[in-house]
Chains A and B, each alone.
Chain A
Amino acid sequence: MWEYTDKVKDLYKHPQNVGTIENADAVGEVGSIVCGDALTLYLKIEDDVIKDAKFQTFGCGSAIASSSALTEMIKGKRVEDAEKITNRDIADFLGGLPEQKMHCSVLGREALDKALANWRGITLDDAHDVEGEIVCQCFGVTDALIRKVIRENHLKTVEDVTNYTKAGGACGSCIPKIEDILNDELKTSPGVAAAPAAKKPLSNIRRIQLVEETITDVIRPILQKDGGNIELVDVEGKQVMVALRGNCAHCLTSDVTLKNLVQEKLREFVEDDIEVVEAR
């Protein structure tokens, strides 16, 4: 069973703004029944303000919750502000999503793009979520969308891209192309790996806060998928002491986990010279 937050559970049980809008000013349709999730977003826009938003979704609990969250987030916003909403914002609104379900938040963001393009009178080809060339034939994902999601979410691996866009998740024949795009993005966008929230130099209190948040929101869910866990023991300057628990505690590759996952994520989200040591 997926580990959904209370917010996700609440919204798939009691989704807000379900339905259609008669004479909608904008409609955005994304996904398909073949892909396993689809979303149609309806908007009523007056004087550049989104007065009403409704949706219909075919998909899992996180797809329903993400769609509901999106409509709540954009209602009453000016179009220019709504456009700034990223899939990460949708996931944050929900208190997080399982990594493999992040594509549901991307679906919401895509629907908004399509609806606003529709409102502006621009027709996007059905096969193109955003302009670009189809990379993943199975799920109809374009290179432009992959690049956009890599940048917005600081993605680093093919698995990340699959979790966020589904690309590469079926026949797998597009994985080499995804790797090329990833390498290209990581090469040409040095900012991709930069910490999004950290403003240096950090105070000790802020550093501890960010370390705790990163462990809770990013690292722990990854470890829990394999039956592991992690505890923050102490933070001394830039040295973070952690204890691995569950399956990770006696895993032969725990050193790799500490350096390649825990330390890398903390460097990505907190400070790029954080050192992680295991508390013995």
Chain B
Amino acid sequence: MNIKSVYFDNNATTMVDPAVLEAMLPFFSERYGNPSSMHDFGGAVAADVEKARRQVADLLGAENDYEIVFTSGGTESDNYAIMGTLAFFREKRHVITTRVEHPAVLNLCKRLEREGYRITYVPVDGEGMLDVEFLKKAVDDDTAVVSVMYANNETGVIFPVEEIGAFLNERGVPFHIDGVQAAGKIPIDVKKIGCDMFGISGHKLHAPKGIGALFVKRGTRIRPLLYGGHQERGRRPGTENVPAIVGLGKAAELALRYLPQEAELARLRDRLEKGILEKFGNVSVNGSRTHRVPNTTNVGFEFIEGEAILLYLNEKGIAASSGSACSSGSLEPSHVLRAMGVPFTAAHGSIRFSLSRFSTQDEVDYVLSALPEIINRLLEISPFWDNKEKKGKPITV
């Protein structure tokens, strides 16, 4: 096996697909017109922007192309959806989200709390599954918007958005989905889900960074975040980032084409997960193993610390990520794992491997062959591991 590097951190960002790059390149050189211009030089480019809009609409199952608004990425999409809805329904002061959202939503909600909004954070169970009944009970006449992620970035766990959508439609409450970690990994049909807004990020599905989109269902009451020109029908002014938009369109088209291969991706992920569970006695999977996206596994190694594992993996050319305190820059392990009630003994040693359609079986096998030396070395160093008995020492927390 002649492998120099393995990138298993695709929930953080993905490689730009060569076909996406190829589609983008002309828009940096000969096709640099402004889509708003009245001459053909710009008009032709405007047609490419509209083509990309259609490609994204197809990926999300949107009925109308104009329901797609291009943004700078997932964070802006989330902020536009929530802030834009609140700006319309000024009299309503209640927002519902979950305890395990991405910081793009969580930190916005914390900010809103400081501004006097009432925020309900819906809990999850030990498998990372959302307490939907809790969410339903939390909805009241003052609820302006409900914002829930489709798939969790750390565990890959998928939330029952259709059930939530049906309930909220009945109640007439705007429903926003952060779909960043779902797009390109599982089939999406915004009509079937019944959501009003659905955000995606380009760099999570093999498009470049700095481009995203928000599906805004026809008739949704929402105000723009930015004010300026007429671009995006006034919903997101500013000269369009044409190369990136074209790239996102192409990436969406490819994502749709490759979706049938998700079972193969899940097989690779399962091979990795099964291999890890078989090799080590001090490891468990964080999150549901049945309701999750096909590319993600989050495993918690007991008695050793996640950042140290990442550093040792990095030495072997393997890229992954961790929910440990030390790796995050915070002093506590990931808010997702804590919300799930994952014991500290495993949360501090959590490692997320996230694959992509470019991942190979050889790469999986390389990671499995590299891990024992790393894990055993760190166990040897750990004060919580009995090197003679080859097991963890009793820990009183």
Q: How far is the CB of A6 from chain B (nearest CB, A)?
A: 14
* Contact across chains for A33 and B311 when beta carbons are under 8 A apart: no
Q: How distant is B222 from chain A, measured CB to nearest CB, in Å? A: 30
Sample of 13 further A-B pairs with CB below 8 A, known A19-B380, A33-B395, A36-B348: A13-B311, A33-B344, A33-B384, A34-B344, A38-B384, A56-B383, A57-B383, A58-B381, A58-B384, A60-B326, A64-B381, A100-B329, A169-B330
- B residues within 8 A CB of A57? 381-383
**Are A33 and B331 in contact, CB atoms less than 8 angstroms apart?**
no
Complex CA–CA separation, A15 to B308 (angstroms):
12
> Shortest Cβ distance from A16 into chain B, in angstroms?
12
A268: Cβ under 8 A from any B Cβ:
no
Give 1 or 0 for each of A30-43: 1 = CB within 8 Å of chain B CB.
00111011111000
List chain A residues, Cβ under 8 A from B326. Answer: 36-37, 59-60, 63
**Is A269 in the interface zone, CB < 8 Å from B?**
no
What is the CB-to-nearest-CB distance from B312 to chain A, in angstroms, rounded to a whole number?
Answer: 8
Q: Which of A37, A60, A61, A166 has its CB near the most chain B CB atoms (within 10 A)?
A: A60
* Contacts A18-B381, A36-B326, A38-B384; A60 near B307 (Cβ below 8 A): yes
Q: Is the CB of B332 within 8 A of A170?
A: yes
Among B86-141, those with CB < 8 Å from A are none
Contact in complex: A61, B311 (CB < 8 Å): yes
B residues with CB within 8 A of A? 303-305, 307-308, 311-312, 315, 324-327, 329-333, 344-345, 348, 380-384, 395, 397
- Residues in B whose Cβ lies below 8 Å from that of A93: none
Closest 4 CB pairs of A and B: A169-B331, A60-B326, A60-B307, A56-B383
CB distance from B276 to the nearest CB of A (A): 20
**Is B307 touching A33 in the complex (CB atoms < 8 A)?**
no
Residues of A within 8 A of B380 (CB): 18-19
The complex places the Cα of A64 from the Cα of B305 at a distance, in Å, of 11
Which residues in window 137-163 of A have CB below 8 A to B? 139, 162
Are B333 and A36 in contact (CB-based, < 8 A)? yes
Q: CA of A100 to CA of B348 in the docked complex: distance in angstroms?
A: 17
Instruction: Count A/B pairs, Cβ under 8 Å.
Output: 76
Q: Is A110 an interface residue (CB 8 A)?
A: no
Complex interface residues of chain A between 9 and 29 (CB less than 8 A to chain B):
12-13, 15, 18-19, 29
Please report which residues of chain A, range 64-108, place their CB below 8 angstroms from some CB of chain B when the two chains form the complex. Answer: 64, 100
B321 to chain A, nearest CB (A): 11
- Which chain B residue shows the least CB distance to A59? B305
Taken together as a complex, chains A and B put the C-alpha atoms of A29 and B383 apart, in Å, by 9
Residues of chain A with a CB closer than 8 A to B381's CB:
15, 18, 56-58, 64
Determine if B324 and A36 form an interchain contact, defined as CB atoms under 8 angstroms apart: yes
Supply 16 A–B pairs (Cβ within 8 Å), ascending by A: A19-B380, A32-B397, A34-B344, A36-B324, A36-B326, A36-B331, A36-B344, A38-B383, A56-B383, A58-B348, A60-B307, A60-B308, A61-B311, A169-B330, A169-B331, A170-B331
Closest chain-A Cβ to B322's Cβ sits at a distance in Å of 10
Contact surface of A with B, Cβ cutoff 8 Å? 12-13, 15, 18-19, 29, 32-34, 36-40, 56-61, 63-64, 100, 139, 162, 166, 169-170
List A contacts of B332 (CB < 8 A).
Answer: 36, 169-170
How far, in Å, is A155 (CB) from chain B's closest CB? 16
CA–CA, A39 and B383, complex, Å: 7
Contacts of A29 in B (CB 8 A): 383
Chain A contacts for B308, CB-based, 8 A: 12, 59-61, 63-64
Bound CA–CA A19/B329 (angstroms): 28
Which of chain B's residues have a CB closer than 8 A to the CB of A59?
305, 308, 326
Measured between beta carbons, the chain A residues less than 8 angstroms from B303 are: 33, 58
Interfacial chain B residues near A100, Cβ < 8 Å: 329
Cα A144 to Cα B329 with chains together (Å): 25
Q: Closest CB-CB distance, A248 to chain B, in whole Å?
A: 20
A13 touches B315 (CB 8 A): yes
Which residues of B sit under 8 angstroms from A169, Cβ to Cβ? 330-332
Please tell me if the beta carbons of B304 and A58 are within 8 angstroms of each other in the complex.
Answer: yes
Most chain A beta carbons < 10 A, residue from B305, B348, B395: B305
Contacts of B395 in A (CB 8 A): 33
Bound Cα distance from A13 to B315, whole angstroms: 9
A175 to chain B, nearest CB (A): 13
B329 CB contacts on chain A under 8 angstroms: 100
Given contacts A13-B315, A169-B332, A170-B331, A36 and B305 within 8 Å (CB-CB): yes
Pair B397/A58 contact, Cβ less than 8 Å: no
Distance of A182 from chain B, by nearest CB (Å): 18
A32 to B397, CA, bound (A): 8
Residues of B within 8 A of A60 (CB): 305, 307-308, 311, 324, 326-327
Shortest Cβ gap from B183 to chain A (Å):
27
Chain B residues with CB under 8 Å of A170's CB are 331-332
Q: Which residue of A lies closest to B327 (CB)?
A: A60
A139 to B344: give the CA distance in the assembly, Å: 13
**Most A CB within 10 A of own CB, among B325, B330, B331, B384:** B331
CA distance A40 to B312 in the complex (A): 21
Closest CB in chain B relative to A8 CB, distance in Å: 10
User: Given A32-B397, A33-B345, A58-B305, do A40 and B383 touch, yes or no (CB 8 Å)?
Assistant: yes
Residues on A with C-beta less than 8 A from B307 are 60-61
Q: B383: which of A12, A58, A61, A166 is its contact (CB, 8 Å)?
A: A58
Q: Measured between C-beta atoms, what is the minimum distance from B387 to chain A in Å?
A: 8
Q: Cβ of A58 and Cβ of B382 under 8 Å apart?
A: yes
Tell me how far the C-beta of A111 lies from the nearest C-beta in chain B, rounded to whole angstroms. Answer: 10
Give min CB distance, A40 to chain B, whole Å: 4
- Evaluate contact between A36 and B325: CB separation under 8 angstroms: yes
Closest approach, in angstroms, between the C-beta of B23 and any C-beta of chain A? 30
Report the bound CA distance from A139 to B332 in whole Å: 10
Closest CB in chain B relative to A224 CB, distance in Å: 14
Partner of B348, one of A12, A33, A166: A33
Chain B residue nearest to A98 (CB atoms) is: B329
A61 contact set on B, CB distance < 8 A? 307-308, 311
B379 to chain A, nearest CB (A): 10
